[in-house]
Amino acid sequence: MGWEGGLLPQPALSGHWAEKLAEEVRADMTTREKTKRVRIGDRVIGGGNPILIQSMTNTKTEDVKATVEQIHRLEDSGCELIRSTVPTMEAARALGEIRKEISIPLIADIHFDYRLAIAAMENGADKIRINPGNIGSADRVRAVVDCAKERGIPIRVGVNSGSLEKDLLEKYGGVTAEGLVESALDKCRIIEEAGYDNLVVSIKSSDVLMCAAAYEKFASVSDYPLHVGITEAGTLLSGNIKSAIGLGLILSKGIGDTIRVSLTGDPLEEIKSAKLILRTLGLRKGGIEVVSCPTCGRTEIDLISLAGQVEELASHYSLNLKLAVMGCVVNGPGEAREADLGICGGKGEGLLIRGGKVLRKVPERDLLSALKEELDILAGISSRAEMS
């Protein structure tokens, strides 16, 4: 055996060995850390409960109608917890009206004014997010804690790399994972000393690797449930890439009880991305996984347009299946047969494949409608199975 391209020959993985390795990796990624159980409205995070997806409204909270309409759209997309900013007393009072119109727990985001935190809880917030360091004196923190304790409302302690305390910046020579963790523990201690430990913690940074390291360090010393996300991740493209890498690193360690994908744009995109990240990691089932080829010179149908239309179509079904949209005869038939349902393109037409079998040949213009017919059939079968 000689050299080839400067590399030593590598032994092929046996099927059994490769399968065993995949199982071990999958087990690592789906083993959750046992954190404290915290109830938020009618939902529970921590203690091995499913990871909940959340987002934040970008309307003016004082505008009840606009805020409720946005939350309804988010609910329909799969949002399970929603947070709204409370910068004014009018916004705090608006929470009461908003809460009546929505079906998911409502979280109030508070900064600087402890009275807003109390008013938010009095008006129906299911959870509040504060930074004890900017709320004010110990008496003010205790006033917030007493109100939360009286109502059984959890508090999220939020630490952000952009607002790390000056003494910790000096101690660690800048923003570091260690500094973020120390800040989070200090803030938890402030609330614990006020007699309360119904807490959720977030430690966010726009530096993906620092953020992942901070969450791992915190999880090793505390059992508080963790809200996980990459802050200020960016626009749709860069934000999704950074969030997928960061959340993937963190969640694959068994860390995280609720997640938010922070994007500069429509909050609905955050929900789509969060659901896909969880499904990709095997941490959530349900919803159609769409796979499609990258296209090349052999593609003879408008695959780019078709794949986008298929992804939009698939988002309206709760079926747990894999759907392939392939562009040519090289890998297309094989890939489509491996999926539960698939399209394999040819010249101006395509094969419709279900369960590994070719159903029929369909003109290109009819591929989307033919696929919808099959999804409707599968949805009907699934619905009847659930009812029986």
Q: What CATH number is attached to the domain comprising 118?
A: 3.20.20.20
Instruction: Give the per-residue pLDDT at 278.
Output: 92
Question: What pLDDT, on the 0 to 100 scale, is given for residue 301?
Answer: 78
Establish if 3 belongs to a structural domain: no
d(CA 232, CA 325): 33
| Strands (DSSP E) found in 41-192 | 43-45, 52-56, 81-85, 106-109, 127-130, 155-160
Is 259 in the same domain as 297?
no
Together in a domain, 123 and 218: yes
95 falls within a domain: yes
pLDDT at 139: 87
User: Residue 230 in contact with residue 270, Cβ under 8 Å?
Assistant: no
Judge if 379 and 260 occupy the same domain. no
pLDDT at 11: 46
Sign, Cα dihedral of 156, 159, 163, 169: positive
Q: Are 40 and 187 found together in one domain?
A: yes
Name the region of 120 (left: φ>0; alpha: ψ -120 to 50; beta: rest). Answer: alpha
Indicate the Cα dihedral angle 136, 225, 274, 326, nearest 10°: 160
| Helix (H) / strand (E) containing 274 | helix 267-280
156/95 same-domain check: yes
The per-residue pLDDT for 133 is 74
Boundary-marking domain end, from 242, 257, 280: 280
* Residue 142 domain boundaries: 33-280
The answer to whether residue 28 is domain-embedded is no
CATH code (residue 321) = 3.30.413.10
Low-confidence residues in the chain, pLDDT < 70? 1-33, 233, 329-336, 381-388
Three-state secondary structure call for residue 326: strand
Domain endpoint, select from 230, 258, 280:
280
Beta pairing class for 106-109 and 127-130: parallel
Query: Are residues 216 and 326 both part of a single domain?
Result: no
CA dist 194 and 148 (Å) reads 11
Enter the pTM of the model: 0.81
Q: Any idea how long the chain is?
A: 388
Query: Domain end: 280, 310, 343, which one?
Result: 280
**Shared domain check, 240 and 95:** yes
Count the domains in the chain. 2
Q: What is the pLDDT of residue 126?
A: 97
